[in-house]
Structure 1
Amino acid sequence: MRPLSIMVLGLSLSSSWGNGHATTYRALLRGLAGEGHRVHFLERDMPWYEAHRDLPAPAFCRLSYYRTLSDLERFSGEIRGADAIIIGSYVPEGTEVISRVAAMKPQLLAFYDIDTPVTLAALAAGEESFLARRQVPLFDLYLSFSGGKVLDRLEEEFGARRAAAFYCSVDPKAYQPTGEPPRWDLGYLGTYSLDRQPKLERLLIEPARRLPQKRFVVAGAQYPDGIDWPDNVERIPHLPPEAHASFYSRQRFTLNVTRADMVAAGWSPSVRLFEAAACATPIVSDRWEGLDEIFTDGQSILLADGTEDMVEALTKIPDTVRLSVGQAARACVLERHTGRARARQLVHLLNGIAVEGLAEAG
């Protein structure tokens, strides 16, 4: 199979500050490079990310910046010549970016939706800042962070030509157990989100109040000043990706909480879920449809609906069970959810569409 030339226009590859897109792209693009494919990533040169770049010169792909929409014309020849162009969700002025790139007539155009439930809720409400409803049928392939019934909805309600579940992935070299002793009994890594905060209150903050002898930690940016953090909850405002494995490895349990739109859609695992699992950290998660198709409750993940469930997990689960849950989750991720595995899936999808196109042309 010949190497592919792929161009990706995404929110950010260079900066992981305040977004999960960067680590998602990094795992996938490393996987593509490992499989022998060539990738050029185009990123809008935004002041926020420019000031917080933790990967300004990736070794696994070419990275270029454009300052304005008209500046995209510099790359028009490469856009036309690439085997595939992939435009991601939440690209600044994404609707106009899509229109301009589609007008350049790329050989194959795909949309990589890292926020599918949020996207569909926005489209249903008439919000079209990074994708317009009329643009969904423009794409040869719609890569969705959500699977299950969401794929049917994308095709039947929004007119996607072909929708495929394309979950996030993890780089197993960057995310693995470090062997460090536990520092915290329960931790959470995630940017502040208004709709996730009630679950964080129930599943971490209130358990911290009830268990003052145990240690907790929350890492992530943009949390409001008014949150009443218990004294035994440590706060880390920002944690760069290179510190994630150590952070997860020093937790006895880690918490996964899911945004409301993703719970409603189901089949929407977050990148943090796979990262923690790759570090063999036992995960306690909220509940949503489709999770049992990725991890098995009681074997490779633990589910909690409220404070009592979390308190019980922290006080009654023996270490032998806790460690076996973490190891089972790691085995699952290494088998099916690495960047290399996802890269092979992407190439299979792209080649399949290319073959279908040749058959139709013939």
Structure 2
Amino acid sequence: MGWKIKVPKFNFPSVPDVIKVLTTAENIAAAGQVIVNVAGAVLDAGDAEDSQLQEPVLQLFNNYERASRLLEQRAEISEPVSDELSLPTGFVTRSKKMVGLWSNPTAVTGDSPENFDMYKDLSILTATAGIPSKIEVGPGLERDTTAQIAKAIFASGAVLEDQLDDKDPVKTIDFKITSHKKDCAIQVKHVFYNIPLVSRTQESCWHSAIHIKMAAAKALILTQDQNTTQFFTDASEGAQDTGPNWVSTVIIHWPRRPDAEAALQGFFNIFTQKFTDYKLELNTALGITQVLKIRTPEDTSPAILLAKVRSVVQEMLKSTQAGFIAMPDIDVSAVEMSI
């Protein structure tokens, strides 16, 4: 499992995280003590006294929340990222923060990390922050932005040293990357500490905060926004809303965020040409995930549709210009019958 705070869970972010610690930690007292070491930095005298009177589980929740606030404060990037750029025509700035748990963290040494969930969840952060999926690092030479960030901020892997007696177990990694043309600068700050779970060397998690900031030329952002445009069937085309129809949601998990975004138009072009009696109602990407919502006639069941979607993706992979590196995972995630 990877990052525990997903986009739909922001209302009560600490609940799944603390439950993870409670249900996984072999030594809850040891795990809780590490959190206390961090939370103590934001406790005043009254808070500390109240904390001693609480039940252990409630204590863990409250200390986790306090530690989260401290991490978020330390992750704050105060300096302007635009100082790295040379943009006479102006620029666009974007910023986003996230706090949560990374499970079983591993050092990222290449474009295919051992713990793929770390890349997957980081790709959601970069996508929702509006960060371009690729950055030019040389003339005509582009790199996967999420992969470059992952290799930098996950350089350490799990922190294995004893932290129980450490007054400040929090670690910080700063990362900056500027495009070759000086039209995009990205800065990331990752602040984290290790929580021991099953054992120090076999399973642990990071309680972590990430702040990502970007400044980029308006023209570059316009191009990025065009790359993530949703391609779908016009309402007057394809299967009609008058039933009975199947409406299936299909999820495609690509290996990289640039693949998911590149697949939007390619999938639209092939699918709408081959299957004119189907309606592609949604075709969008978030991180590495492409989400499709397709309306089909009654005689085209979700299983038949899934096979057709896979055939379209296989046809896309044959295109050498697209640059896809592997067949993605494809599944139906939801189905409804429209009458």
| TM-score for the superposition, normalised by structure 2 | 0.24
Q: Which has the higher helix share?
A: 1
Q: Which has the higher strand share?
A: 2
Larger radius of gyration: 2
| TM-score for the superposition, normalised by structure 1 | 0.23
